[in-house]
A and B are shown apart, each in its own frame.
Chain A
């Protein structure tokens, strides 16, 4: 690169930087849906937009840093970000809220049980720049990392057991508000229930290990293998049982090393997400 080209490049970078700064410095008192979506696209965020039941509220769901994140849009007047974590004690939640500056943790309950949301809000009405919204996102990502670290250092207040009795499994399913049917197959207990319009089966192999599965239409082996290549914690398998061909999505939990209620709950709940993801994959085939 000769000197003139270098100079031109420097000037272009400076102009570009100044334009970006000017954009960052422009003050908004309402953040429209168009601005919100353009902003998310500028961060290369691939989002799914859903209207809330209440008018004027939108949800933008996306993946960020390996976690599912939601942006709540309240009539352009304020924004909220949240990420969901597993259940914690109220003491742990409070300990986080005492030390946190830019987020708060809350215990919530839905039809599947209790969970913790890490949340942050940005008030737009007083006037904010795009740079401030960007900073809101950046800071929240740092808060998530710090929160995950905080959680990692906090032991779960759970009893550890190496055999999952059918009574224990039933109590966990009931606590998750799962309406199940119990079937005995060759000496093993199978719990059948529905999730996201899919029939799931939870097998308890003598209390030593659990398996959960859902059945889907037949897929070519190459597609089955491709799915295994791209996902963790599950196994996608093609079956042909007496001429009946289908694809099974499966996950196992080895309990012999010691598990707790929260570990078993997480095993069951996280399979819901796996089923949702796999449904999308199957529909695209």
Chain B
């Protein structure tokens, strides 16, 4: 089963780092059914992430948080606390074959080719469904894990 082997291998390198980060606030963690903006902002601040917040004028309760992580511009989307979304956009020309190759090996992200007119870009993204419950640790882990996915994606593109 090649997919099982490759996918389990891709995440191992950052696992230890993530365990350390997530375990810190584990003891009193509770599962909540949504992530209010204030909760998300407190987690970002606790992780020392300096963000710029904007709100979707057309959709109430939809907020965007832009911040830098390891020299990449990351956007976190909060959709009414029901789901969180992280993405980084790459303007490099990346073929659909390469996009799919990444998705074959990825576990905690996906690459999607975007076409707007004659402009092509690629979004590396991850989503966290909060409707069925989410813990603070999961949100922290979601951010930390995505750092690793971005790093691995860049390595994948440059090799």
Cα distance, A76 to B140, chains bound together (Å): 50
B63 CB–A CB distance under 8 Å: no
A257 in contact with B137 (CB, 8 Å)? yes
A181 CB–B CB distance under 8 Å: no
A256 in contact with B112 (CB, 8 Å)? no
User: How far apart are A136's CB and chain B's nearest CB, in angstroms?
Assistant: 22
Cα distance, A208 to B140, chains bound together (Å): 15
A152 in contact with B141 (CB, 8 Å)? no
User: How far apart are A153's CB and chain B's nearest CB, in angstroms?
Assistant: 8
B140 — which chain A residues lie within 8 A by C-beta?
257
A252 in contact with B1 (CB, 8 Å)? no
B4 CB–A CB distance under 8 Å: yes
User: How far apart are B72's CB and chain A's nearest CB, in angstroms?
Assistant: 20
Q: Pick from B1, B19, B22, B34: contact of A151, CB below 8 A.
A: B34
Number of interface residues of A (CB under 8 A): 50
A154 CB–B CB distance under 8 Å: yes
User: How far apart are B106's CB and chain A's nearest CB, in angstroms?
Assistant: 7
A158: nearest residue on chain B (CB-CB)? Answer: B31
A224: nearest residue on chain B (CB-CB)? Answer: B100
A205 in contact with B22 (CB, 8 Å)? no
Q: Pick from A185, A208, A237, A265: contact of B1, CB below 8 A.
A: A185
B155 CB–A CB distance under 8 Å: no
Interfacial residues of chain B within 69-91, with CB under 8 A of chain A in the complex: 80-83, 85
Residues 29-56 of chain B: 1 if any A CB is under 8 Å from the residue's CB, otherwise 0?
Answer: 1111110100000000000000000000
B103 — which chain A residues lie within 8 A by C-beta?
228, 235-237
A186-B4, A252-B108 known; A257+B33 contact, CB < 8 A: no
B133 in contact with A156 (CB, 8 Å)? yes
B137 in contact with A158 (CB, 8 Å)? no
User: How far apart are B43's CB and chain A's nearest CB, in angstroms?
Assistant: 11
B22 in contact with A257 (CB, 8 Å)? yes
A160-B30, A162-B23, A232-B85 known; A259+B138 contact, CB < 8 A: yes
A151: nearest residue on chain B (CB-CB)? Answer: B33
B95: nearest residue on chain A (CB-CB)? Answer: A221
A152 in contact with B33 (CB, 8 Å)? yes
Cα distance, A257 to B139, chains bound together (Å): 7
Cα distance, A225 to B113, chains bound together (Å): 7
A281 — which chain B residues lie within 8 A by C-beta?
none
B114 — which chain A residues lie within 8 A by C-beta?
229
A233-B83, A254-B138 known; A211+B22 contact, CB < 8 A: no
B104 — which chain A residues lie within 8 A by C-beta?
237-239
B133 in contact with A266 (CB, 8 Å)? yes
B65 CB–A CB distance under 8 Å: no
B138 in contact with A258 (CB, 8 Å)? yes
A235-B106, A237-B104, A266-B129 known; A225+B99 contact, CB < 8 A: yes
A148 in contact with B82 (CB, 8 Å)? yes
B97: nearest residue on chain A (CB-CB)? Answer: A221
Residues 100-124 of chain B: 1 if any A CB is under 8 Å from the residue's CB, otherwise 0?
Answer: 1001101110101110000000000
**A-B pairs with beta carbons under 8 Å apart, 17 shown:** A86-B133, A148-B34, A151-B33, A160-B26, A160-B30, A160-B137, A162-B19, A186-B4, A222-B96, A225-B112, A232-B85, A254-B141, A256-B18, A257-B139, A263-B133, A267-B132, A270-B131
Which residues of chain A have a CB within 8 Å of any CB of chain B? 66, 86, 148-149, 151-152, 154-156, 158, 160, 162, 185-186, 188, 190, 203, 205, 208-209, 211, 221-222, 224-225, 228-229, 232-233, 235-239, 241, 248, 252, 254, 256-260, 262-263, 265-267, 269-270
Known: A158-B31, A254-B138, A260-B133. 9 other contacts (CB 8 A): A155-B32, A156-B30, A221-B96, A224-B100, A236-B103, A256-B145, A259-B138, A262-B31, A263-B133
Listed from nearest, the 5 A-B pairs whose CB atoms lie closest are A266-B132, A257-B141, A152-B34, A257-B137, A258-B137
